Each structure stands twice: as structure tokens, then as C-alpha cells.
Amino acid sequence: MPSLVDDAPRCHVAVTKVASRCNLNCTYCYVYNAGDETYAAQPRVMARATVDALIERAAEHCARHDLEWFEFVFHGGEPLLAGPEFFTYFAERAAARLPPSTAPRFSMQTNGTLLTAPWCELLRALDVRLGISVDGPQAINDRQRVDHRGKGSYERIRRGWELAQAHGLDPGLLAVIDVQADPLEVFAHVLELKPRKADFLLPQANHDKPPPHAAPGTTPYADWLLQVFAVWIDDATPPVRIRLFERIVHAVLGLANASDAMGPGRNEVLVVETDGGIEPVDVLKICGHGITKTPLNVARDELDDAFAIPLLQLYHFSGRRLCATCNACPIREICAGGYLPHRFSKANAFDNPSVYCADLLKLIAGIQNWVVAQLPAELTARLGLVPLAPA
């Protein structure tokens, strides 16, 4: 089958929901604690027949679009609940079925509590890049990252983290921001763990479910992040890569900014649930029960069929399909409206700026002003960079 034109919608990443249950019960979880209960009707673990169908669809898609690589992001729930044999089978099938010109990539986002030495050895053998979620030191992490008995998870996460590092997995770190926590204490903890890279996530919120501890007219998330940025950037060689900061700096300089949470690029990500359902990004679950469900399934439909679904199409092009407020904004080429789920309201659907609009403006302005201050005036003039009012 001939390749399609480069501008055709395509998928480079399949967030593969290998397990639809979790051994933790984080209070802010967008899958289980945001009002969407569709997980209850799904298989607890993806069946091998579904794995076969997904890999077959991915192989067709890679051949059709002549993709050099295709990534499967093992996700959940907690993906380790699928068991070690699942991942061995998956990796072998992907290597056998994807076109020779397409390199399969594997990554996993886990809470880390179930990691053992054998697990780490297997993940390293399968070349699975690991991300572990931990929100800060024990007192901070255990406010919200609890199990089904309400017990904190930090000690188990820390044990898993250290096992992963000891086995050469070099995990990345993902932390959800708690603005009631001291940002410099959290950052010091990140440095203590020595991750490959780290990222700070805004709590999943929208106009109907506002961010925690954010009163109207305030910017607590920008204020929190800018404190971390000031310490991070003050180091001549930052000791850890922080993706959010790097993306904004790159975008300010006119470089590529590959993220579905910020920037005008296409979002080449699809979610495949444990039952084989093809869906848009799972964080959209915060917008209403069943909103991510589509009639598509890898058992019978191609990945390309997803781009005919209006919500999937909107997500794919969300950096270009902005409300009037965003289109008039001076940082629209950097922010591009922010993350699609954060724009939602029942009144206007996704025709809103991000619920974090003021925070994003202040954060981006603060980082852009730092960049402007570092560069020669001739270069900033050529790049069209000027200081921005913070908010």
C-alpha cells in the first residue's frame, strides 16, 4: 500500500492500557476518581488476542505511513498487574510483526510499588524505558498517593525506584504538583533520587473541576514552578532534565516543542484500552463519564479510522483549533491553548482557554524573560523576542 502524504493524520504512539485496575487509589487519579466508571466494564488485563490485533493494526499503520519508529507505552491502571509473561509475549510479537523499516519502542509508566529484581531484569532485557510516579518526599507523596486502605505508598515506591536504578533501568520521574508543598523541598527530593529526567504535571482539572488551591485571580502553579525553574536554571549544568522547562525554552527559541500539553504540533497519540477500544487521550475522562469511548476496536478497525472521530480529530489538531481568546494571545505559538482536557466546560465544550491560562501565561512569560536576558540584543531582535508582562 503506498504511503500517504506527510500531512495525513497518523499515530506514532499507542498508549497501551494493559491493565485496567490499580493497586493504588490516588485521590487525584483521572482514571478512577474523576467520575468516569467505564473501566469497570473492561477486562482487568488485555487478552493476548487483543495484543495480536493491536500489533497487527500498528504494523499496517507503520507500513501505510512509512514510520521509522512506533512506540507502545504500557499503561494502566498499573501495568505490572499484567504479569511478566504478558510483556515477553508483547515484545516478541511486535518485533515479529512490525515492518523491518520500523523500530519498535517500549516504555512503561508505573507506580513502582510492584517492582522486584526479576521484574527489573525482564524490563531491561526487553529494553522497556521506565517512568515512575512519585510526588515528593514521603510526607508530600503520601497525602494523595495512597492504596485502597488509605495507606501511603512512598516506602514501596522508593524501594521500587532503588531496585530500578540498581538494575540499570535509569527511570524517569513524574510528579503531580501539590502547591501546598514547598517547591524547593520537592525539587531537592528529585535531585536526591537522580532520575534520568523529570517532569512536573499540573493536576488534571477543567473549568467544571477547578485546580485545587487555586483561587480566582491567582497563579499558584506558575508561582510554584517558577521557584523551581530559578534554582534549576541557575546551575550551569542542570543536574536533571525537566521536560516542561526545556519545552518552553525550546519553544521560545523557535525550536520544536513535541508535547500534547503545549505547542501547536500534531498529537500523534492514540489510546488502546484493555478491551481493544481505540480512544483519544485518557485524561479526557475528567470531562465526563464515557466521553473517550468510540465504536472503534483493534479487532476490526484500523488505527487510521480513529481520525474520523470528531474528538480524536480535535485532540490530534488541538494545538491549532483554539478559542478566540487563545487566538488573540501573544504566547499562542508556545502555549497553543494548553492541554485539551484542561479547556473543557459543559457550557462551551472545548471552546475555552485552559483553566490554567493565567498560570501558563505567567510561567511562559517568566521563562521567556529569562531567555531574553541571556541573549545578545542583536539576536533577540532577529528572533523577535521581547520581555512579556507576567500575567
Q: How far apart are CA 186 and CA 361, in angstroms?
A: 23
Last residue of a domain, one of 316, 335, 364: 316
Q: How far apart are CA 292 and CA 312, in angstroms?
A: 9
Residues in Cβ contact with 53 at an 8 Å cutoff, skipping those fewer than 6 apart: 276, 297, 298, 299
Cell representation of residue 295: 465504536
Q: Are residues 27 and 110 in the same domain?
A: yes
pLDDT score at 25:
97
Q: Are residues 206 and 227 in the same domain?
A: yes
Position 190 in a domain: yes
Q: Are residues 147 and 259 in the same domain?
A: yes
Position 2 in a domain: no
Structural domain boundaries, residue 63: 13-316
Q: Are residues 127 and 238 in the same domain?
A: yes
Q: Are residues 21 and 74 in the same domain?
A: yes
Q: Are residues 328 and 312 in the same domain?
A: no
Position 3 in a domain: no
Nearest to 360 by CA among 263, 267, 238: 263
Q: Are residues 298 and 328 in the same domain?
A: no
Last residue of a domain, one of 289, 316, 343: 316
Position 167 in a domain: yes
pLDDT score at 168:
96
Position 391 in a domain: no
Q: What is the dihedral of CA 378, 384, 388, 391, to 10 degrees?
A: -160
Position 353 in a domain: yes
Q: Are residues 250 and 332 in the same domain?
A: no
Position 8 in a domain: no
What residues in the chain have per-residue pLDDT under 70?
Answer: 1-7, 258, 389-391
pLDDT score at 225:
98
CATH number, domain containing residue 66: 3.20.20.70
Q: Are residues 299 and 339 in the same domain?
A: no
Nearest to 177 by CA among 219, 107, 224, 130: 224
Last residue of a domain, one of 296, 316, 336: 316
Q: Are residues 332 and 257 in the same domain?
A: no
Q: Are residues 273 and 375 in the same domain?
A: no
In DSSP notation, 127-142 reads TEEEEEE--SSHHHHT
Q: Say what the pTM is.
A: 0.93
| Planar angle of CA 182, 241, 161, nearest 5 degrees | 70
Question: For the chain, how many structural domains are there in total?
Answer: 2
**Whose grid coordinates read 532577529?**
382
Position 29 in a domain: yes
Q: Are residues 152 and 193 in the same domain?
A: yes
